[in-house]
Amino acid sequence: MTDVLGWRKVFAVIGPSTNTIVQPDMEAMRPVGVTNQYRDIYVENPEALSDEAFMAGAGKIAEGLKDALRTALTCSPDYLVLGVSAIAFTGGAEGCAAFVKEVNKFTGLEISVGSVSVVEALRAYSPNIKRVAFLSPYYPTANANVRRFLNDYGYDVVRDIALRCTSWTDIARQPEERLRKVIRELDGDDVDAIVQVGTNLSMTRLAAQAEGWLGKPVIAINTATYWHALRANGIQDPVDGFGKLLSKL
């Protein structure tokens, strides 16, 4: 017997309880026959963040992951999608590989994580992409983890901007005009592509628009992660409105 709505695939999408962007983002990208079962990682919303507090909070998210995975497994999903990005960049390529292996062992399922998905998206756009810039809602220490991860895969990070959001929920409240300005600041003739990380930052549609302004790939992490999950499961349906990645690649 097959799930009557998820007759192609049932995805368990795992994200922090404070995240209000991943679920609507991935629902908007969802093709017919696929369902997204969102499961929370419990996390307190801090009154104020700093570099140290951000990293401590990311550590608590990582600690709570197994409980969320255990809950997700009760709906018998076919595949896992990680809707939190900071923990998947920690430790560079080697750290991420170990993290994915641990999730595979614990659940018996394959998983799409934002860090690897971004790299695969860059490769799908063009093997000639070498120099990138990125923005995040993070603080400098977390940005350093992203930079290290991209460096491990051979990408030169020309520049990056940490928005230093004041709480987990503040990330979802960043106005589009601020994000547009940051994209412009990151761009230049020395940059082949721009990447956005931080899954609670709403940028799927803005990134698609920015590709038109700049004439180069602008990759939102939620788009990349969901694209990776679909393609890993043999689902090639084009989805319009989210850039070239989902509509053509």
Give pTM, 2 decimals: 0.97
Query: What angle is formed at CA 221 by the lines to CA 115 and CA 247, rounded to 5 degrees?
Result: 120
E strands, 50-190, are 79-82, 111-112, 131-136, 156-162
Each residue's pLDDT tens digit, 25-84 = 999 999 999 999 999 999 998 877 888 888 888 888 989 999 999 999 999 999 999 999
All domains in the chain, ordered by first residue: 9-115+223-248 (3.40.50.12500), 124-220 (3.40.50.12500)
What is the phi/psi pair of residue 162, to 5°?
-100, 120
Each residue's pLDDT tens digit, 189-238 = 999 999 999 999 999 999 999 999 999 999 999 999 999 999 999 999 99
Q: Residue 8 corresponds to which tokens in the numbers above?
A: 């192609």
